[in-house]
Chains A and B, each alone.
Chain A
Amino acid sequence: MADHPLATGASTAIAASPVATAATGGIGGTQGVQGATPPTAGIDARFAVAYAGFRLDVDLRLPGRGVTALFGHSGSGKTTLLRCVAGLEPAARGRLVVNGECWQDDARRILVPTHRRELGYVFQEASLFPHLTVRRNLEFGLRRIPAAARRVQLDHAVALLGIEALLERMPDRLSGGERQRVGMARALLTSPRILLMDEPLAALDHRRKQEILPYLERLHDELDIPVLYVSHSPDEVVRLADHVVMLGEGRVMAAGELHATMARLDLPTAFTEDAGVVIDGTVAVHDDHYHLTRLDFPGGAVWVQRQQVDLGRRLRFRIHARDVSLADHQVEGSSIQNLLPATVTEVVGADSPAHVLVGLDAGGTALIARITRRAAEQLVLRPGRRMWAQIKSVALLG
């Protein structure tokens, strides 16, 4: 896997042309793939659509598997992009190829209508048919695909989303979280080649979100199809996504593998309270005496509170930039136990004039530290300098 945070552009399938480079014409944008034989796995999406006061203009090449988060504020065009992929925006012009199947190509006058696209769509409000029971809602799509094409069985989808007890109920007798789970199962039962999810958690309160997230993670683990997941919540993105596309005002601001993108210091995400990196660690050691668990990752390890998971399992965690401080030698006699040797890769201004963001490479894993400008000058921080990163806290996800 190309989970290696610093192994960005070279090995990952994802590459996006920020459309700001439109001036360079057709060549500038997409890295690598143009001119070569188009690979069948992956999603090629080029769309332009304009409404009064809004314009979407994107050119993306997305991976053919895993969860890709379309991330941005409201009005950034993420939902419109998802609707373009589904064929629900008749005004959209462009080209769309999903794992080798062309769904739209205006140059060749191809436009496959939505009901002939093998996709599953989960809407923000589950939008169950109010006149049908849960079971009939689930069967609506299932009955409309040929029996030979049914790769997902009713029982399987029902079990996966834990809705066994709801089958004979009417939608108005379900909670928001239950409705959304039924909506997901209903979409899965069309055995889609791609799953499109439009902020499936946005309409839910915190408790319902926590109730659904495990199901989403299970989908992620069990599905072998690409998922496009629209979200404006950084928490959901870092928890669920493998890849991320950041959208702003209808344009692609960044796109790439999750860990690498979160570690970039040239994106607006670096300038929020939430700035920090995402790391996938392997559960290596449980220390029952001190009630701690060690998570290993390329280039180092961190100790966290004892986790009730088996050795060898992968756990995703975040290290916020505000929780990383730097020292030029291995500090002894400190309460901070998580210390990592790291090399400075870059130093950039932060959101406040008093601070800087320091990019670090800890033996293959990227870290960000947010420290004061004065400290950075006193430590003479510059790319290549060897430092010790002191990690004050680790936020486990999931």
Chain B
Amino acid sequence: MPTLTGADWSAILLTLELAAVSTAVLLLLGTPLAWWLARTRSRWKGVVGALVALPLVLPPTVIGFYLLVAMGPNGPLGRLTEALGLGLLPFSFAGLVVGSVVYSLPFVVQPLANAFEAIGRRPLEVAATLRAGPWDRFFNVALPLARPGFVTATILGFAHTVGEFGVVLMIGGNIPDKTRVVSVAIYDHVEALEYAQAHWLSGGMLVFSFVVLLTLYGRRRGNAGGGVG
């Protein structure tokens, strides 16, 4: 029975790399965005919150289509990257990262915003009366208290990016070692009627996803029931 080929292993590695880079970018962008969403009284809060949540409901092909147009030679993003000498993003690893960040944004921003909201104003007021300035309060009070939110956001962002298919297909295509991730590789195997390899990869994804969710939910129950550590 044929097991995984070298190309499959390369797809697995690429997937993990994409998920890791995307999660890092998501945390960097998502943290200030979530902080703003959690604390603002601006009338734009609703609009921004809805935009962040859009990828939850849109078909990935729609996201991918618009990203493809935007990053293309006539799109605003494409013109920008060409002007910066970066070339065009579609069908490149960098393009996949951009797509993944958009696609997984709500999975990172929402847990973070919830965690920041749960802290409330009081600990930050206390810190202010203890001479901590705004940045000091953010890094030494808000971030540590929002730690459970960061764990959830990291796990969900990573796992969701690993499971991405539609967006990748639209903007990344299927270039081995460059843009061919596991979900696309499975698609290829099925097209070629290589069910055994499709089983190995799909089974792997199934187990991975289950373990991730088990970690997440098991941790939550532990937190709720457990006392002091």
Q: Which residues of A are found within 8 Å of B137, using beta-carbon distances?
A: 115
* Interface members, chain B 137-177 (any A CB < 8 Å): 137, 141, 144-145, 147
Contact of B1 with A by CB under 8 A: no
Q: Which residues of A are found within 8 Å of B228, using beta-carbon distances?
A: 170, 172-173
- Residues on A lying within 8 angstroms of B by beta carbon are 86-88, 113-116, 119-121, 123, 127, 129-131, 140-141, 144-145, 170, 172-173, 186-187, 190
- Measured as residues with beta carbon below 8 angstroms from the partner, the interface class of chain B is 10 to 19
Q: Are A127 and B141 in contact (CB-based, < 8 A)?
A: no
Q: Are B131 and A141 in contact (CB-based, < 8 A)?
A: yes
In the complex, how many angstroms separate the beta carbon of A129 from the nearest chain B beta carbon?
6
Q: Select the stretch in B23-31, B90-98, B120-128, B204-212 that faces chain A.
A: B120-128
Q: Are B125 and A144 in contact (CB-based, < 8 A)?
A: no
Q: Are B130 and A86 in contact (CB-based, < 8 A)?
A: no
Q: Are A123 and B122 in contact (CB-based, < 8 A)?
A: yes
Contact of B42 with A by CB under 8 A: no
- Residues on B lying within 8 angstroms of A by beta carbon are 122-123, 125-133, 136-137, 141, 144-145, 147, 228
Q: Are B126 and A190 in contact (CB-based, < 8 A)?
A: no
Q: Are A114 and B126 also in contact (CB < 8 A) when A170-B228, A173-B228 are?
A: no
CA distance A187 to B130 in the complex (A): 7
Q: Are A114 and B125 also in contact (CB < 8 A) when A145-B131, A190-B131 are?
A: yes
In the complex, how many angstroms separate the beta carbon of B91 from the nearest chain A beta carbon?
45
Q: Are A129 and B126 also in contact (CB < 8 A) when A115-B132, A190-B131 are?
A: yes
Q: Are A119 and B132 also in contact (CB < 8 A) when A127-B123, A129-B141, A131-B144 are?
A: no
Q: Are B145 and A144 in contact (CB-based, < 8 A)?
A: no
Q: Are A127 and B133 in contact (CB-based, < 8 A)?
A: no
In the complex, how many angstroms separate the beta carbon of B15 from the nearest chain A beta carbon?
35
Q: Which residues of A are found within 8 Å of B122, using beta-carbon distances?
A: 123, 127
CA distance A186 to B137 in the complex (A): 16
Q: Which residues of B are found within 8 Å of A120, using beta-carbon distances?
A: 129
Chain B residue nearest to A186 (CB atoms) is B130
Q: Are A187 and B129 in contact (CB-based, < 8 A)?
A: yes
Q: Are B128 and A144 in contact (CB-based, < 8 A)?
A: no
Chain A residue nearest to B128 (CB atoms) is A114
Q: Are A123 and B128 in contact (CB-based, < 8 A)?
A: no
Chain B residue nearest to A125 (CB atoms) is B122
Q: Which residues of A are found within 8 Å of B130, using beta-carbon distances?
A: 115, 140-141, 144, 186-187, 190
* Closest 10 pairs between A and B when the two form their complex, measured CB to CB: A141-B130, A121-B129, A144-B131, A114-B128, A115-B128, A131-B144, A127-B126, A115-B133, A115-B131, A140-B130
